[in-house]
Structure 1
């Protein structure tokens, strides 16, 4: 469960914290405003006074969570392997954050301006690094971001992620993190490293019918 934040001292703050936990557990369609209101110690009417609909409340929560991961991981386009490792670490430590993001993707809820601004900022950072000769310019910036994000979150999205406690789990996660960083390093080396794979250099398989 998402722990309540230390700033949750107003009805609106309590609503946002309760909604964050509700969306992480039940998704958007399964979330209930009455449960959110009860957890926030307020009324459904008060919830709707701040947020006109459940989708609007979700968009606010999702943007807040996206901003949190962006702040914690800090995209550096000259060190995408390091960035991928930080994203993996963040989602392992905050699995509800990733669940909230995934619910929005699965249920097709549009993002708000904050989320779009964060995405545009990342694309622009990657594009500038390419223009400065610090990142292979043959890749589309969107492809770079999608591939890196997909690799970074690959193990977090696995329902079979081992639940063992202690050293066994720690070693498993350390090995998975190392694999993620190595994969991103192969595709998009940190500035000053050996050349990575360009889209044209990726081997193509013959998928034509026999």
Structure 2
């Protein structure tokens, strides 16, 4: 007898949606293709998610949770944090493509879901505390420094030449961030 596992099916849909959205964006993705990739019917996909927008939001929230757990901020080692973000981006190219689609189709401001806002605020607070302690430069506002560190980690993601020399890229990222944050 076959056992139903609704959580496994939901996760299969999220995984399939990540692939579909990364390839086609929100407007180009199709629920029937997501369902096909997940090995279920489109009707079942709609049982779990009302439509593409809700599914996209669920995939994005999963990405935020995963990134926070895989590359947690360490305000005392922002160069290391940036390198961990870079490594996570390299290991998960679909995630970077999906985030770029999100920015293109919904705009930067919509990336600010409640979970993303909470995660960002945690990072800003950690950097602000390190600035107050004098271990991180206060030349930039904490919010700007977090953005600079994160974007520095993402800079080389699309550079094919950099992909050939990841050790050099890691060293460059670490040094650039070190220069940004050293008091």
Q: Same fold (TM over 0.5)?
A: yes
Deviations 1:131-182 (A, max 9, x none): 2332223421111011111111100033xx1398xxxx2xx11112111111
RMSD across aligned positions (CA): 2.1
What corresponds to 1:103 in structure 2? 101
Count how many residue pairs are aligned between Structure 1 and Structure 2. 176
Matched with 2:91 is 93
Which consecutive unaligned segments of at least 5 residues does structure 1 have?
1-6, 190-194, 196-210
Cα distance change of structure 1 residues 163 and 177 upon mapping to structure 2, 3 Å threshold: closer
How big is each residue's C-alpha offset from its partner over 1:169-210, in whole Å with a ceiling of 9 and x where there is no partner? Answer: 2xx111121111111111113xxxxx3xxxxxxxxxxxxxxx
2:24 corresponds to which residue? 26
| Partners of 1:52 and 1:41 in 2: CA distance | 18
* Alignment partner of 1:75 out of 73, 76, 94: 73
The 8 Å contact of residues 12 and 50 in structure 1, kept in 2 or not, is answered as yes
Q: Secondary structure at the match of 2:21?
A: helix
Decide whether the 8 Å contact of 1:33 with 1:54 is kept in 2: yes
Deviating above 4 A after TM superposition, structure 1's stretches of 4 or more consecutive aligned residues are: none
Q: 2:171 aligns with which of 175, 178, 195?
A: 178
Quote the residue 1:187 is aligned against. 180
The normalised TM-score by structure 2 is 0.86
- Tell me the alpha carbon deviations over residues 38-78 of structure 1, each in whole angstroms, 9 at most, x when there is no partner: 11122222222222221111111112112212211111111
Aligned counterpart, 2:147: 146
Q: Relative to 1, partners in 2 of residues 1:8 and 1:174: Cα closer, same or farther, differing over 3 Å?
A: farther
Which has the higher Rg, Structure 1 or Structure 2?
A: 1
